[in-house]
Structure 1
């Protein structure tokens, strides 16, 4: 048993899996706590003068995984340590679990006996879907995979961990992910207001009910120089036909002239609708 496990067993260190927000933060926090405990025992090395080492993080990860496995699979861990088959009622019996040299429960593989094989390339570590550490692991892989689909994330997780009922755990993580919620949201169209009676008139003449607005300015050539001009857009609220009139500027007088030209060409207007532009308000005041 590694020294880290002996230290935990001697001091009865409780690991708060559910109190940290990510698996990497849990690993680093636990590693600093274990280093502080070694320093208190005068067990200090030269490489510990700087940041955490890869071997420390790997040992802490084994510690966390073993603690989670002891809480989730106590009978299976005991059977695997004594070289016995797990019970037929166990949910991981089909994985043929075994305990490696670090005391971690893994899925059986035919190449695990190769001593020259890197530790990171070993068969996946078994985790229960009920343990809080599993959610931290799945959440970290979900973020590393940039919130991709379920199958791609599961394939990446299984390179290191074998989680029971993994698809269910991953869907729960995705459903609680704020970034995924933003990606899945769809804008709600606003409820449109009721149409005015002007839009529903069926037996009137064209431009009986008319809307008026301006667009521009447009550059036009006058003699040898260019000047700005605006265009008054008249639209029939019933047939949606349009009529254009040139406006010299945005003054009230130009607006009145454009309206007069329009009426002379298209006939009388029963109601003229527009916004509260100064030229429109001025024209309405002059008409009254």
Structure 2
């Protein structure tokens, strides 16, 4: 059942619609572009945004030009319906367009030109006027020049090298710009959070950022992943030495530690067999005695201990880990002591 209430009913919630228009008399195109660069920390994302903006402006111009051309044509030659059809086709063409690699590249060059004109205005103007930059300029030692696209690049003596043009003549960028920080941060992520030298090497393939070392050091120091990789190994504070290590007036091998190592392959007649080493170390003077065990069973362990006792005397304490053969030898030795 569909119930309808009158609009003037006090129990019915009314919808409020508010419209507002804001007029900014101080609108500045350059400040707006600078705000876009400062708010976008991902350089790849920034290039795509600017590429879409440039493509939209170009498409609007084409549509406007097409509309004017159709309006100026003689109505006898082209009916109104045909004009509308052609105009709608051009609009549909604009809707289906996608970004291309060249569009992103043009957007990158537009961003770089804007940043260079903003920070190197005097140098760019002097180079356009075929003059050298001032000696007090930050670009004086870089032998800078402007290429055919209006991009400020490093000069140098590598013109005859077989390197790429971007490697021979990197693009100059200032240290103070947010763009420089975004580019270095993107390179830092793309190369897998390597160190400062790796970042600087990758950066020099295309860009020459003045004071790049300071920016790289700042980014690496604040990177959580890099801080994990470069964190120093924690040092465990060692406990006090056991009493057996600091007992005085005892003969060597009175208190010993025992362990196995190996195996080692040896030749026995025509066969290759395994043998294990048994190490006895004095816990007081760190002297070492070595024996050879045929296997890892309990009887072989007891034989090694007997040979050690025959050479070094009977120890008071033997310390070892909980190896199966060592635990078995301990059990048999305790049983023999109880029998005695």
Q: TM-score, normalised by structure 2?
A: 0.54
The question of whether the paired residues in 2 share the 8 Å contact of 1:210 and 1:269 is answered with yes
Match of 1:34 in 2: 54
Q: Tell me how far 1:131 sits from its aligned partner.
A: 1.9
C-alpha separation between the residues in 1 aligned to 2:196 and 2:169? 24
State how 1:1-288 maps to structure 2 within 5 Å.
Answer: 9=29, 15-21=36-42, 23-36=43-56, 38-39=58-59, 52-54=100-102, 56-69=103-116, 106=152, 127-139=173-185, 153=200, 157=204, 163-176=209-222, 187-218=233-264, 228-239=274-285, 240-251=287-298, 253-286=299-332, 287=334
C-alpha separation between the residues in 2 aligned to 1:224 and 1:162? 70
Distance 1:284 1:76, change over 3 A: same
C-alpha separation between the residues in 2 aligned to 1:97 and 1:52? 30
> Over residues 120-154 of structure 1, what are the superposed CA-to-partner deviations in whole Å (9 max), with x where a residue is unaligned?
79987654322211212344566789967669938
Q: Tell me how far 1:64 sits from its aligned partner.
A: 1.5
Structure 1 gaps of 5+ residues are 1-7, 110-118
Q: TM-score, normalised by structure 1?
A: 0.61
Distance 1:150 1:268, change over 3 A: closer
Q: Aligned residue pairs: how many?
A: 266
3-state secondary structure, aligned to 1:262: helix
C-alpha separation between the residues in 1 aligned to 2:197 and 2:263? 54
Structure 2 gaps of 5+ residues are 1-27, 64-89, 156-164
Instruction: Find the structure with the greater CA-based Rg.
Output: 2
Q: Which has the higher contact order (CA 8 A, sep 6+)?
A: 1
Distance 1:195 1:67, change over 3 A: same
Bigger mean CA deviation after superposition, 172-181 or 23-32: 172-181
C-alpha separation between the residues in 1 aligned to 2:202 and 2:261? 57
Q: Tell me how far 1:52 sits from its aligned partner.
A: 1.6
